[in-house]
Amino acid sequence: MLIRLAYDIQFDIPAPVAMVALLNVHPSRAHDLLEPDELQTEPQLPITHYIDSFGNRCARFIAPPGHLRLSSTSLIRESGLPDDVNWSARENTVGDLPNEILCYLLNSRYCEVDRFSSIAFELFGQIEPGWGRVQAICNWVHNKVAFNYQHARPTKTALDVYTERVGVCRDFQHLAITFCRALNIPARYATGYLGDIGVPVVLPMDFSAWFEVYLDDRWWTFDARNNQPRIGRILMATGRDASDVAMTTSFGRADLRYFFVVTEEEPTAPAPQVVSITGD
């Protein structure tokens, strides 16, 4: 399967401002790209690329006053299979976790793990550790939290979501991540492209959030918002929570004026037919 990825994001900039963008496909998927995945700016600006402490590809630049457009289009090869599911995956004991995984057990900007210890144990402590416990967390969040764009706000934490029971996709993931960490299950926030392949069409398209859990010595994809395996999930970035993987961070004022994202299956050309011509 081939998937077309594209975005067009535009700002009004009142004064020169330093910006960082996490809009590239994650380095772990670079080998699947069939076209360049490069950030284009209008006006054209010098861009410095670097890999952050979480392994994400970042673009850094100075935006001048005026109108700024960030855009890109690329093509990526995808398996066409839904997210992996492994009901036999086991939890690792904390003592056996690699050093670099430990930060995904701790408090972070939107995930107040210390406030959830008793709540998480009361709700999920009696469920057998492993995949089934994480799935139970996803089921609970999916069923108890309502999706509503009108209730989005940049300061909403997992505790706010638990109290208000409404939010957008990032809020679903923050609450599920916090439950997992409170039970000593490493969990991290993920963002990327997720289109409507295999499900009813949902418009307008947007970048999506999900989360990953460390079980049996590897990371697995979970999604408390959609709560079902999906096709065509293209990772852009991972971090402790949404604060680590913002699409753009401006160190000063940058007013968003236009936002467009598309991710859709690209038709593949039929294989050429082989025709043999013989004489009488």
pLDDT of the residue at 198: 83
Q: pLDDT at position 175, please?
A: 98
How much is the mean pLDDT over the chain?
94
The answer on pLDDT for 241 being more than 80 is yes
Tokens (6 digits) for 82: 């839904």
Q: Is the pLDDT of residue 280 over 50?
A: no
Closest CA to 266 of 120, 97, 75: 75
56 & 155 share domain: no
* CA distances in angstroms from 56 to 71, 123, 125, 221, 246, listed in the order given: 18, 34, 33, 17, 11
State which residues form the domain around 35. Answer: 2-78+246-266
Angle at 69 between CA 232 and CA 51, to 5 degrees: 60
In a shared domain, residues 233 and 101: yes
- The yes-or-no verdict on residue 205 having pLDDT over 80 is no
Backbone angles phi, psi at 160, to 5 degrees: -60, -45
SS3 of 3, please?
Answer: strand
The answer on 205 and 111 residing in a single domain is: yes
Between 82 and 271, the more confident residue is: 82
Structure-model confidence comparison of residues 273 and 210, the more confident one: 210
pLDDT over threshold 90, residue 203: no
CATH of the domain at 63: 2.60.40.2250
What does the pLDDT read at residue 152?
Answer: 87
Is residue 209 one of the residues assigned to a domain?
Answer: yes
How far is it, in rounded angstroms, from Cα 193 to Cα 208? Answer: 6
